[in-house]
A and B are shown apart, each in its own frame.
Chain A
Amino acid sequence: MRISESLRTGTLEIFNNKLRSFLSFLSISVGVISILYSITLIYSIRTRTAKALEVAGPGRIVVKMKDRWNSNSDMEKKQAREALTLEDALAMETRYPELFMVSPVLRKWIEFRAGSFSEWQGVLGVNTQWKKRGWVYSLKGRFINQHDIDTRARVCVIIIEGGWLKKPKWIKFYDWKDRFQEFVKHDDMLGKTIMMGGSLYTVVGVLNEPPMEKNPRAFMEVESWSPKILVPITTAQRFLSGYGESEGIDQINLDTGKEVTINAYKARVEKFLAARHGGRLNFLEIKDYRDIIKDKLADKQRDMYTVLIIGAIAILAGGIGIMNVTLATIYSRIREIGIRRAIGATRGDIMAQFVIEAMLLGFFGGIAGIMVGMGGVQYLASKGNEDMIMFQWWMPFISVIAAVLTGFLASLYPAYQASKLDPVESLRYE
């Protein structure tokens, strides 16, 4: 028996039992909607993780200050300030020259002034190693060099955001505009003198980010805020107001160069820093960057599992619905089974007939689910859901395949039962 004939019979059967078929479609559709949403979320999480790692480097370890602002006593405050220093970074570089990157950073929050324009901005103190990873920019002028660091030069590099090639609808919902970005974008800053924290700085470089669509960093930021002004780390320590005079820095980003060496270096660095700080590491956390990403995405992952479980339940209900419909179909067509057997249909033919019909039910239910689901995804994307933007053209296919597979699996048992019916008994059935 040709599949086309089974499909034809199956379609006839679906249209002849509209209500029964509709109820099956409904449950399968709900399952497909959940699957579509889950796949989009899974894809988004995976892509973000991969992109974040791609930008950060394969062997990234982050040595980070914690609880700096929660210290109670003066003693604790002093210890906290000095728990991680620039000297630690330099010593680490000397001790482990094989490390691909040792990039200390210090964040500050300062008032930026240029002529009559003023705005509070985040500033990042960096050294020359900063550009070793995550460099997605095109540079105008120059980057911070070792001389700037050694001389605590009052120079800065400004990052200009890439903007959108084609602005998504959801962006238009937000009125907020980044005044700083608007200012630097429309003013050629290179070579200009600006004021930060009461001192004058020369803009020696401008970093242009690629457009958002082409920027691997877009939506992938793991840091809570990313400063758009870079200064030599030594300058940030000395001249920019912050939490007092100290050698303290916020973070050291390390890259071992390889994923496999992360754990070994994590242990080494911990030992090394403990030795330098008299065993006190209570203000520090040494983390595998992959763990940081995982923590950041943990909420989304929980969402994903919830939706996936709901989807699984819905599709299971759909499967049970299909099984029920197939059983009902078989009981109402016992005589037909007898006739088909009498004219030469094999058990396999009968089984295939009902399995194909159930797969058709799954397919139509899947298509209905996809139509509703894609509408939902589009709506969420238009409202600024960053995960739903990740929707890919192949996702509906996967969802429909899941629905068809559900139909297939759910119908196996009833179809097997149908194939085992005795032809003579079936022919006598009224």
Chain B
Amino acid sequence: MIKCEDLHKTYPLGKGAGYPAVRGVSFQVRAGEFTAITGPSGCGKSTLLNILGFLDNPSSGTYLFDGKNVGAFDDGRRSGLRLTDIGFVFQSFNLLPRFSALDNVCLPMLYAGVEKEAAAARAEELLARVGLAGKEANSPIKLSGGERQRVGLARALANRPRLLLADEPTGNLDSKSGAEIMQLLLELHKGGLTVIMVTHDQSLAKLASRIVRMKDGVVEP
């Protein structure tokens, strides 16, 4: 599904200098795998995840998604892939605070052109699946951290993605909520979803079917 060859990402620091966040990463992810990317803070995990999710462009190297070179895709096509093929779960949830839980989950479907009623029905179903039935109308502000992340997870699943990218999904949660979220991710993986999770928590990484370790912007052998 994913093949990276010699990916580099350097952030410009001005006057010709740059900070190399990712330095020559090459690896593959097959469909249906649960891959955990681990490593210490600042090792380039999140940068790599952003590149894999078409949020960021590599400075150099090749990224093949379903055998197609993503480097040649324009913004519209990349946005389209983010919308339909990829789901994002963030450490800080990234929900829209003025929208209800239901509206947050509906949003990607509305961007995809799904009818409002159909989107609402699916959002309700997804919220029930992550254990939030009855809390659809709640604003994210009124939800606990674990509940917010469940909304985030439901939103990521809205358009039935093939790839779920989770960036420290339990990083802001207590251990109980974290375990519940992890359980949900494992269930999704069992259902056939490809998951790539960034975490610095080794105990969580061990639950994945494969671990990729990073250090100083490179994948450790």
Residues of A with Cβ closer than 8 Å to B?
A: 1-2, 4-5, 12, 16, 335-336, 338-349, 423-424, 427
Which residues of A are found within 8 Å of B113, using beta-carbon distances? 2
Within the assembled complex, what's the spacing in Å between the Cα atoms of A5 and B82? 20
Say whether A343 contacts B82, CB under 8 Å: yes
A182 to chain B, nearest CB (A): 68
Say whether A344 contacts B82, CB under 8 Å: yes
> Closest residue to A333 on the B side, CB-wise?
B96
Report whether over half of chain A's contact residues are helix, strand or loop; otherwise say mixed. helix
Interface flag for B179 (CB, 8 Å): no
Contact of A424 among B56, B79, B84, B159 (CB under 8 A): B56
> Closest residue to B77 on the A side, CB-wise?
A346
How many residues of chain B are within 8 Å of chain A by beta carbon? 26
Which residues of B are found within 8 Å of A345, using beta-carbon distances? 79, 83, 111
Nearest 5 pairs between A and B by C-beta?
Answer: A344-B83, A346-B79, A343-B108, A344-B82, A339-B94
Residues of B with Cβ closer than 8 Å to A?
A: 50, 53, 55-56, 75-76, 79-80, 82-84, 88, 90, 94-96, 98, 107-108, 110-113, 116, 155, 159
Contact of A336 among B76, B82, B96 (CB under 8 A): B96
A373 to chain B, nearest CB (A): 33
Q: How many A-B residue pairs have CB under 8 A?
A: 64
Say whether B88 contacts A16, CB under 8 Å: no
Which residues of A are found within 8 Å of B108, using beta-carbon distances? 343-344
Say whether B55 contacts A1, CB under 8 Å: no
Which residues of A are found within 8 Å of B84, using beta-carbon distances? 344
Which residues of A are found within 8 Å of B79, using beta-carbon distances? 341, 344-347, 349
Sample of 28 A–B contacts (CB below 8 Å): A12-B98, A335-B94, A336-B96, A341-B55, A342-B53, A342-B55, A342-B88, A343-B82, A343-B88, A343-B107, A343-B108, A343-B155, A344-B80, A344-B84, A344-B111, A344-B112, A344-B159, A345-B83, A345-B111, A346-B79, A347-B75, A347-B76, A347-B79, A348-B76, A349-B79, A349-B111, A424-B50, A427-B55
Say whether A346 contacts B107, CB under 8 Å: no
Within the assembled complex, what's the spacing in Å between the Cα atoms of A57 and B64? 78
Say whether B116 contacts A424, CB under 8 Å: no
> Closest residue to B56 on the A side, CB-wise?
A424
A96 to chain B, nearest CB (A): 72
Within the assembled complex, what's the spacing in Å between the Cα atoms of A135 and B44? 90
> Closest residue to A16 on the B side, CB-wise?
B98
Which residues of A are found within 8 Å of B53, using beta-carbon distances? 342
Say whether B110 contacts A2, CB under 8 Å: yes
> Closest residue to A12 on the B side, CB-wise?
B98
Within the assembled complex, what's the spacing in Å between the Cα atoms of A349 and B50? 20
Which residues of B are found within 8 Å of A424, using beta-carbon distances? 50, 55-56
Contact of A343 among B75, B76, B83, B98 (CB under 8 A): B83
Candidate in A338, A341, A347 with the most chain B CB atoms within 10 angstroms: A341
Within the assembled complex, what's the spacing in Å between the Cα atoms of A381 and B107? 50
